[in-house]
Amino acid sequence: MISIKEISNTQISMWQRCPKQWEFRYQRGLKLPPKGVMLQGSAYHAALKANFRHKIDSGEDLDIREVMDAYDTSWRERTSSKVEDLLDLDLETDNIDWEGKEPGSLKDEGYKLLSLYHRNVAPSVIPKFVEQREEKPIGREVIYVGYPDIETETEIIDHKLKSKSMNQMDADRDTQPLSYCLLKDKRRFAFHVVVKKKVPEIQIIKVAKTNKDIIWWADAVKQIVAQMKTGIAPPNHTGWWCSDRFCGYWKLCRGRR
């Protein structure tokens, strides 16, 4: 049996997508080089984090120039720091995969998306907590952990940058609302999505969960953890993720190193 002390929604999502991916990443500790869009998203989150933590203390948003400075600082750190400084990314940084995109263009796009959100949505968000660690026991030995982006008085907010629009069905099926609502004992969740179109747009998609939903999900997490502990992690080759392009472990999984 494998010893598991902590579990997160990221791990659960990876297990549901492909148990073999989870084995490579979380049992063997094989980290992958980050993609440029992930660094963009991480810098975007860092800038929003700086703004909303300031807002908790002062009651006001930062000036846009200060938010951009926070984005720029994060970008520079995450494109130059060693892996031990980037544990929140769960990624190596020796060889960033820019996927054919110019780093400068990707960085500038992030500025544009951040400015759009800061101007149009941030003023209406009244944060109570920002990326605070939350824990909940799952069974006797495992702790379920998470860091919700924002918690207000009434709901949990998660920030996303996406290349395509998110629809309500995808939001309702996503495990993140279930996980964070379970951890925070709340029932209202909202995705704040900035869609990277030619003319970027903002989506705010609300998700509501019931007590029955949360009880069901807590039981599902226990069953997933029980599966993980067996050490049996079969590959799932039935989805789009199982390819040399979309899975960094594909060659290793298929026996070609």
Within a domain: residue 246? no
Tell me, yes or no, whether 202 and 118 share the same domain: no
Within a domain: residue 165? yes
Within a domain: residue 250? no
Write out pLDDT tens, residues 23-74: 999 999 998 888 899 999 999 999 999 999 999 999 999 999 999 999 999 9
Q: Is the pLDDT of residue 231 over 70?
A: yes
Q: Is the pLDDT of residue 83 over 90?
A: no
Within a domain: residue 25? no
Residue ending a domain, choose from 56, 91, 125: 125
Read off the pTM.
0.91
Within a domain: residue 248? no
- Report residue 100's pLDDT band, with 50, 70 and 90 as the boundaries: confident
Q: Is the pLDDT of residue 128 over 80?
A: yes
Write out pLDDT tens, residues 133-189: 999 998 888 999 999 999 999 999 999 999 999 999 999 999 999 999 999 999 999
Within a domain: residue 119? yes
Task: Report pLDDT for 34.
Answer: 84
Q: What is the average pLDDT score of the chain?
A: 92
Tell me, yes or no, whether 222 and 150 share the same domain: yes
Q: What's the total number of domains in the chain?
A: 2
Q: Is the pLDDT of residue 256 over 80?
A: no
Within a domain: residue 5? yes
Which range marks the domain in which residue 90 is found? 31-125
In this prediction, residues 10-23 reach a mean pLDDT of 97
CATH of the domain at 2: 3.90.320.10
Task: Report pLDDT for 1.
Answer: 86
- Report residue 215's pLDDT band, with 50, 70 and 90 as the boundaries: very high
Tell me, yes or no, whether 112 and 198 share the same domain: no
Tell me, yes or no, whether 99 and 135 share the same domain: no
In this prediction, residues 97-104 reach a mean pLDDT of 88
Q: Which of 3-17, 26-40, 85-99 has the highest mean pLDDT?
A: 3-17
Tell me, yes or no, whether 87 and 137 share the same domain: no
Task: Report pLDDT for 35.
Answer: 87
Which of the residue ranges 127-131, 171-175, 252-256 would you say has the lowest mean pLDDT? Answer: 252-256
The pair of structure tokens assigned to 95 is 């060889």
